[in-house]
Amino acid sequence: MEPSPSLPGPNAELIVAASEFAAAVKDFNGDPVKQRQLLKEADRLRILLETPMDVLTKQWEMSQCIAAMNLLVELDVLEAIPKQGSISSKDLAQIVKVDESAIARALKLIVIFGICVEPAPNVFALNANASVFLKGAAREFFQFMIDQTEPFYKLPEYFRTHKQEDLYDLNKSPYAWAVGMEGKSYYDAISSDPRKLHNFDFTMATSEPVTPILGMFPWASTKEQVEADISRPFVVDIGGGRGQLLKAIQREAPNGFGAKMILQDRPDVLASLTAEDIPGIEKMSYDFFTPQPVKNAHFYVMRRILHDFYIPVCKEMVKNIASAMGPTSRFIIADMIMPDKVEIGTEVTPYWLDFNLMMLNGTEKSKQQFEEILDAAGLEIVTIYPFAFGCHANIECRLKSGGASS
Ligand SMILES: C[S@@+](CC[C@H](N)C(=O)[O-])C[C@H]1O[C@@H](n2cnc3c(N)ncnc32)[C@H](O)[C@@H]1O
């Protein structure tokens, strides 16, 4: 029988992709970068096999799975499953006081997606995938994702009721509008709800497995330079959240090579941190829309900050850094560098994140866009350090020989 035109039939591209995948899997040794590459190749195999209706139903399936997960997380159903052994949906229903069939149906759906197992009919147990959704693991990450996702469905209405230029107005972000806080910036909007602020900060602080910090700029190699003048701060992390970047750098630069490590962020973010949370790191409340108060540090870093804003705002922020830099100071941008064109089978992160950033007046940027921002602030790129996989990079910058522009 001839394959239907909408069904993928014998397909040279699929055969080549499958053979390459099989060969790569045989050589797989657990390397995390290789694992990410293999996942992308597996996605590509699936895309080559799907019919157009498969594409649509996959989205439907995922949206149901997310809804089921949200139910189970918010009602503490996963928390009620014993860490060892299993429990029936009947017993779970008694613990969380929710209809048994609702719980069983939601659990069966997530089991299909590899989260939890059902060792006997209507009996459930945690597995490694489920553990990620528990308190103290990445439950806050999931809740942050849900908080960001609900406003997406209001985007059509946002665009119907707003002028096109409003998307670029820091006080008219789609997120703030969708949660009834138009007039506030995105960060002021999340700060108005302690739970949202905590989930945001927790997510940022624990996302190193998916957003690398090290493996780009060679922090260990700065030892001699820093030790030669420890009166200058070693690193100022601007908008550094809970100190995740500085703590990672300490793994390559024990004790900051004897010089200060300074964490700058908004007062409510810093207030959640004790001295024990960030040993060897000094907290400093600072608004990055004002001139940088720490002068002539060895390094200033902005990780995942410039992507939160559009180019005109970034130019102002970077000018504030340039105004504090000395001739040997370096500014490190830790962000993704957007490829010029999307290719199937490459990393999806820049694209979902870029779409997500639209909710808060931000966007991922290309190398040319970074150059435009730096040029306006009187800075230039020294070296770009890409991560081994995907678009993550550290961009090392310095003052142009003529100094900062006004
Ligand atoms: C996307 S998070 C990145 C956090 C951290 N750099 C990282 O990569 O994990 C943005 C950070 O910028 C901070 N921030 C937002 N507006 C700020 C402002 N006006 N001044 C200083 N920090 C700000 C937020 O509180 C948050 O910690």
**CATH architecture of structural domain 53-131:** Orthogonal Bundle (1.10)
Q: Under 8 Å CB-to-CB from 211, ≥6 apart: which residues?
A: 304, 349, 392
Q: Which residue minimizes the CA distance to atom 14 of ligand 1?
A: 239
Closest CA to 196 of 151, 238, 158: 151
Q: For residue 334, which atom of ligand 1 is closest to its CA?
A: 8
Tracing tokens 């003048």 back to the chain, one arrives at 229
Please give the pLDDT value at position 8.
60
User: Which of 257, 209, 261, 258 minimizes the C-alpha distance to 238?
Assistant: 261
- Residues sharing a CB contact under 8 Å with residue 268, sequence separation 6 or more, in sequence order: 191, 197
Q: Which residues of the chain have pLDDT under 50?
A: 5, 404-406
Distance 265 CA to ligand 1 centre (A): 6
24 alpha carbon – ligand 1 mean position (Å): 39
What residue ranges do the domains of the chain occupy?
Answer: 12-50, 53-131, 139-205, 219-340+358-399
Sign of the torsion formed by the C-alpha atoms of 328, 331, 332 and 338: negative
Q: Which residues are catalytic?
A: 307
Q: What is the pLDDT of residues 316-368, one digit of tens each?
A: 999 999 999 999 999 999 999 999 999 877 888 999 999 999 999 999 999 99
Residue/partner pairs of 108-116 with CB below 8 Å, 24 or more apart: 109/64, 109/65, 109/68, 110/65, 110/68, 110/69, 110/72, 112/65, 113/65, 115/69, 116/78, 116/81
Superfamily for domain range 219-340+358-399: Vaccinia Virus protein VP39 (3.40.50.150)
Q: Which residue minimizes the CA distance to atom 24 of ligand 1?
A: 239
Structure tokens at 192: 């108005």
Closest residue by Cα to atom 19, ligand 1, is 287
For ligand 1, the distance from its centroid to the CA atom of residue 239, given in whole angstroms, is 4
> What whole-number distance in Å separates Cα of residue 226 and Cα of residue 245?
18
Residue whose Cα lies nearest atom 20 of ligand 1: it is 287
- Contact between residue 294 and residue 233 where contact means Cβ atoms under 8 Å apart: yes
pLDDT tens, residue by residue, 14-50: 888 899 999 989 989 999 888 988 998 898 899 889 9
Helix-helix angle 12-26:32-49, to 10 degrees: 160
Reported as half-sphere exposure (CB side, CA atoms, 13 A), residue 62 has a value of: 6
Residues in the chain: 406
Q: Where are the beta strands (DSSP E) in 266-328?
A: 282-285, 299-303
Check if 53-131 and 219-340+358-399 are the same fold: no
The pLDDT score that the predictor gives to residue 404 is 46
Give the containing element (helix H, strand E) for 256: none
Pocket of ligand 1 (CB under 6 A): 187, 204, 239-241, 244, 265-266, 269, 286-289, 303-305, 308
